[in-house]
Amino acid sequence: MKSDPHKNHNDNSRRKYWRENSLESSDENISGKFDWHLVKKFAPYLARYRGWTIASVVLMLLYTVFSLANPYLIGVAIDQFISHGNLGGLAIICIILIVINVLMWQAQYWQVWTMSWAGQQILYLLSTDMFTHLQQLSLSFYDRTQIGRVMSRLQTDIDVLESMLSSGLLSMLGSLVSLVGIVIAMLIMNVPLALLSFTVLPIMFVITAFWQKHAQRSFRRTRAAISVVNATLQENISGMRVIQSLAREDRNRSEFDELNAYNRDTNNDASRIAALILPLVEVVAALAIAITVLFGGVQVSRGSLTVGVLVAFTLYINRFFDPIRDISQQYSQLQRAGVAAERIFQILEMPVDIVDKPGAEELPQIEGDVEFRSVTFGYSRDMPVLRDFNLHIKAGQTVAIVGPTGAGKSTIAGLLARFYDIQQGAVLVDGHDVRDVTQRSLRSQIGVVLQEPFLFTGTIRDNIRYGRLAASDEEVAEAARAVGAHDLIAQLPDGYDTPIRERGRNLSVGQRQLISFARALLSDPRILILDEATANIDTFTELIVQQGLKRLLDGRTALVIAHRLSTIKGADNIVVLQAGRIAEQGTHAQLLQQNGIYASLYAMGFRHTSFDDIDHANIDAPSTVS
């Protein structure tokens, strides 16, 4: 991690740090140059489908040869047979032509097919590799990266590569090969005429190079414009409720129109330039044809050239410019694909900072004893959030952590599950350093319930079962019943089969939280982390949730981060955190007696009393705090 010297400007430096270290910066800086290092990175993927790729290239060569033979043979038919009145020869050459065309058809089919096949396999591998890699990246990556930008790499960039791999690359290669073939054929047929028609090439190159430069710039501008348009649309759709509730539609309409029009005009500018290349190639081609006809015509009239050769030659000139036209068009596509590949490999090469140690052992079934031993940790090395932090939680205890925002409460929870690696000290679970055991075995014995209960699309049942994939329907229902979610779920028209919409929007936060409790209960962890899990639940739901919570905490080691006194009061130990250090700890009663920070927090909380900060423990059997 890079250190930032200006750490005083906390917010600014953090943003700068993100920008430098995240994927963000590379998004708009499309270099426009094709990077040949990419070919090297790409090689292993191609190598996996070596056979198919080679077959495809061979077939393409065949196809190109066949397609070049076509006009040549037509020329021969005219010169050798039609002019000389040879009916039999004409029939033979026509049969040969048919055979060649059928072969050409097959060659092209198999060539496109093998290439698409290999391309699809490669894309599939690439995207799966990328996804797998993303699963391994630690949460610190996700803390500083916008999901949308990663998504665009997994979708847009793969799409760009797809069109390149499935058609672009090969047709470009095909164009090059046929260009070479045509040049050779023209040289064989008539060297002076061929050389004569090549004289227009320098003009061609100058024009294309000039065009490239301008086109590239304007293409880049259109990409930037459309990405702003899409970002704005995305934002406005997400915020549609706010827009409608503030009756701001008219203003947004005109603001969007402005942006939309800018995008249109940028595109029109680009089209103006893009449309130039084809007519230019056309005119240069015509120049070549004109020269050939003029000189060839003179030669024909002198008898040093046959009409058939001249006809074939003009046909070749047309064909000669086809690949040039294709290449000049596809060059920009190649560049775009290069950029896309670069962005994909950026993700694939993103270092995984939390990995299982070589030979890491499975964490055996634990009791749930947790110890933080002089832990120092900061998200950035020079800004420690926790300093020399010591805390011991005995198996089965509930420890509550309180303190102001930014004191490091959630950090402690994240360290226990090894979402981040500490810089000094050790985090021990049943005496095992969390870094010495596999992440999987560690996390499968730790349950986490977050403030924002995140549900996946699928049914409610699927979501609860996420806690233990092998659980039966009865076990799912039992877990739901235990946390008090069953009645709420049963109320819904489709019960457990109710589909959950994008981010669980069709359920209230309380309902979602109850489902996430059931999910955690089903996974039956020895250690439970509640990260402000009750913060978003309204008073009435909390009555139910509290009971579910009791059931959930029963017999487990629990680390509870909470603002609500209800969740805090019953804890075996309350830790008051301030600026990464423990300021006070003890039971509720002890801390009140100390009359320190906790007591004043408590008093302040009550002066602005809310239903939320009320102890529900005495609704049913009161849990006595000793």
Partner 1 sequence: MILPNKNQPADPLYLDTWKGNLGIYVRIIKLLRPHWKLSLGAIVCLGLSTGLALVVPWLLAWVIDTGLRHGQFSTLLLATVAILVTSSLRGLFAYGQGYLSQAVSNHVAYDLRNTLYDHLQTLSFSFHDESETGQLMSRLTVDIEAVRNFIPLGLLRGLLALVYFGAISVILFRLDWRLALVTMLSVPLLIVLSIQVSRRLRPLWLGVQNETGALGTIMQENLSGMRVVKAFAREEFAISRYDAQNRQVRELNMSAMRLAAWNQPLMVLILNAITVLIVWLGGIAVIGHQLSLGVLVAATTYILLLATPVRSFGYMVNWFLRGLSGGIRIFSVMDTAPTIADAPGAATLKHVKGQVRFEHVSFAYGNGREVLHDINIDAQPGQIIAILGATGSGKSSILHLLPRFYDVSKGRVLIDGRDVREVTLSSLRRSVGLVLQDVFLFNATLRDNIAYGVNDATDEQIIEAAKAARIHDFALALPDGYDTWVGERGVTLSGGQKQRVAIARTLLLDPRILILDDSTSSVDMETEYLIQQALDVVMQGRTTFVVASRLRTIKNADQILVLDQGSIVERGSHETLLAQGGAYTRLYDLQLREQEEFEERMMASTHGSEERKAS
Write the DSSP assignment of 545-578 as a string of letters: HHHHHHHHHTTSEEEEE-S-HHHHHT-SEEEEEE
Q: Which of residues 487-506 bind partner 1 (CB under 8 A)?
A: 488, 491, 493, 499, 501-503, 505-506
Residues 6+ apart with CB under 8 A from 412: 372, 386, 389, 391, 401, 559, 561, 577
- Nearer to partner 1 by Cβ, of 54 and 275: the residue is 275
Using rule CB under 8 A, residue 523 touches partner 1: yes
Task: Decide: is 116 part of the binding site for partner 1 (CB under 8 A).
Answer: yes
Print the binding letters for residues 279-308 with partner 1: x by CB under 8 A, - otherwise: xx-xx-xxx-xxx-xx--xx-xx-----x-
Residue 34 or 509: the one with the smaller Cβ distance to partner 1 is 509
Measured CA to CA, the distance from residue 249 to residue 259 in angstroms comes to: 15
Q: Looking at residues 566 to 585 of the shown chain, list those that interact with partner 1 (rule: CB under 8 A).
A: none
Residue 469 in 3-state DSSP? Answer: coil
Distant-in-sequence, close-in-space partners of 107: CB < 8 Å, separation ≥ 6: 59, 60, 62, 63, 66
Q: Partners of 393 in the beta sheet?
A: 370
Residue from 274, 324, 412, 483 binding partner 1 (CB under 8 A): 274
Supply the minimum distance, in Å, between the C-beta of residue 35 and partner 1: 26
CA–CA dist 580, 130 (Å, integer): 36
The minimum distance between CB 539 and partner 1, in angstroms, equals 5
The C-alpha atoms of residue 535 and residue 610 are separated, in whole angstroms, by 13
- 78 and 311 Cβ atoms separated by less than 8 Å: yes
Number of residues that bind partner 1 (CB under 8 A): 174
Binding of residue 390 to partner 1 (CB under 8 A): no
> Which two tokens mark 331?
């060059």
Return the closest-CA partner of residue 623 out of 523, 556, 536, 554.
Answer: 554
Specify the residue, 519 or 526, whose C-beta has the smaller distance to partner 1: 519
Between strands 424-429 and 432-433, the pairing is: antiparallel
Looking only at residues 319 through 378 of this chain, which bind partner 1 when binding is defined by CB under 8 A?
A: none
Q: What are 460-464's contacts with CB under 8 Å, separation 24+?
A: 460/489, 460/492, 460/495, 460/496, 460/497, 460/498, 460/500, 460/515, 461/496, 461/497, 463/500, 463/515, 463/519, 464/496, 464/515, 464/518, 464/519, 464/522
Query: Binding of partner 1 at residue 9 (CB under 8 A)?
Result: yes
Closer residue to partner 1 (CB): 417 or 571: 417
Task: Give residues 207-246 in contact with partner 1 (rule: CB under 8 A).
Answer: 229-231, 233-246
Binding to partner 1 in span 310-329, by CB under 8 A: 310-311, 314-315
Q: Which stretch binds partner 1 (CB under 8 A): 182-190, 213-221, 374-382, 605-613?
A: 605-613
Q: How far apart are CA 159 and CA 96, in angstroms?
A: 41
CB 430 within 8 A of CB 486: no
- Site residues (CB under 8 A) for partner 1, limited to 245-264: 245-253, 256-257, 260-261, 263-264
Answer yes or no whether residue 78 interacts with partner 1 by CB under 8 A: yes
Q: Distance (Å, rounded) from C-alpha 303 to C-alpha 376?
A: 94
Distance of closest approach, residue 308 Cβ to partner 1, in angstroms? 9
Contact call for residue 604 and partner 1 (CB under 8 A): yes
Decide if residue 540 touches partner 1 (CB under 8 A): yes
CB of 318 to partner 1, least distance (A): 8
Task: Indicate whether 174 belongs to the interface with partner 1 (CB under 8 A).
Answer: no
| Residue (148 or 555) nearer to partner 1, CB | 148
- Does residue 591 interact with partner 1 by CB under 8 A? no
How many CB atoms neighbour CB 524 within 10 A?
A: 14
Structure tokens that stand for 524 in this block:
């039956």
Q: Which of 29, 365, 405, 624 binds partner 1 (CB under 8 A)?
A: 405
Binding mask 415-434 for partner 1 (x = CB under 8 A): --x-x---------------
- At residue 124, what is the residue type? Y
Is 470 near partner 1 (CB under 8 A)? no
Q: Measured from the CB of residue 169, what is the shortest distance to partner 1 in angstroms?
A: 14
